[in-house]
Chains A and B, each alone.
Chain A
């Protein structure tokens, strides 16, 4: 019995379906129950949260969590499905410290809100950047430029005349 089936056995009401995702056990879970399910996953000795991915499917968002257990040498993948208008899910920073920057990156590039995150700000792009670039409806036509302010802060604008040599 793999980790996903074990999860379904212990929390049958939270797990929607189980399967395999590229040789890794996958469990699709309800987004409201992410915290109790994640607590159970941590009890099952999955001590590392490797990566958090956000995907835009245009009608929905999916957030995918990849776990790894160093003792059991096993992988486990959790997936939650969020509605497209206001994608939000509970933060896992209380369980894995490493979720902090992974969730900030997912917020930065895909725009998913992680409620309960201690510092949900952009991590790669500067503050003030318009839009989330990995969304399908991101505006690729308006180019945004970054300049440095007097205090060393980043200033984002669509006007590149301060930066570019030719107009």
Chain B
């Protein structure tokens, strides 16, 4: 049997600036290889299931509606039209943790609120991510020596991204959200369960 030969001239040369929709899709890094089979007038997309899952997850992060203190005001400002987190597919703040996969811990976690925050986190379905926002949620902040405030929300739940500030401006929120998207993009399948880290 003759060896299989591939005629590489049939493939499109890689252009530096993506112009067509297909090239733009390839440029996202989501699709590893795009083969255009012109003879069949169709497309073959080659990718890995990790990339598709991660792309789906990072493109529709739904936060749970929870604000603990003044950082929540900045969360509202981030969600409003001027900064507009609908760009990231995040504008749907869910009223139930069962429908959410992201929690902003926005504000002071008092001792009395701490078990409630933990319960909210446990009610969220996997995979789930947590962004700790502001000095209070990160370390306790100005209330670090208080009798009634937890010294960092990472004492009770795992945190993916910390955003410093008191409170952080919406630009800092957007930067933190982009950092989380980068993190999700590079996760392996099952990374949240410690299988493929």
Instruction: Write the residues of chain A forming the contact surface with B, with a CB cutoff of 8 angstroms.
Output: 125-126, 133, 138, 140, 143-148, 154, 163-166
Contact = CB atoms under 8 A, between A and B. Distances in A.
A163 B114 contact: yes
A143 B147 CA distance: 7
B192 interface: no
B67 to A, nearest CB: 19
Given A125-B148, A133-B148, A140-B147, A165 B155 contact: yes
Nearest to A143: B147
Nearest to B158: A165
A116 to B, nearest CB: 28
A146 B115 contact: yes
B111 A145 contact: yes
15 contacts: A125-B148, A126-B112, A133-B147, A133-B148, A140-B147, A143-B147, A145-B111, A145-B114, A146-B111, A146-B115, A163-B155, A164-B156, A165-B155, A165-B156, A165-B158
Contacts of A138: 147
The CB with the most chain A CB atoms within 10 A, among B116, B147, B148, is that of B147
The CB with the most chain A CB atoms within 10 A, among B114, B119, B154, is that of B114
B98 interface: no
B54 to A, nearest CB: 26
Given A145-B111, A163-B114, A165-B156, 20 more contacts: A125-B112, A125-B148, A133-B147, A138-B147, A143-B147, A144-B111, A144-B147, A146-B111, A146-B112, A147-B115, A148-B115, A148-B119, A154-B112, A163-B115, A163-B118, A163-B155, A164-B155, A165-B154, A165-B155, A166-B155
Given A138-B147, A144-B147, A163 B156 contact: yes
- For this complex, into which size category does the number of interface residues on chain B fall? 10 to 19
Contact of A148 (B111, B116, B154, B158): B116
**Interface of A (DSSP majority class):** loop
Contacts of B116: 148
Interface in B110-133: 111-112, 114-116, 118-119
Contacts of A126: 112
Contacts of A133: 147-148
A164 B115 CA distance: 10
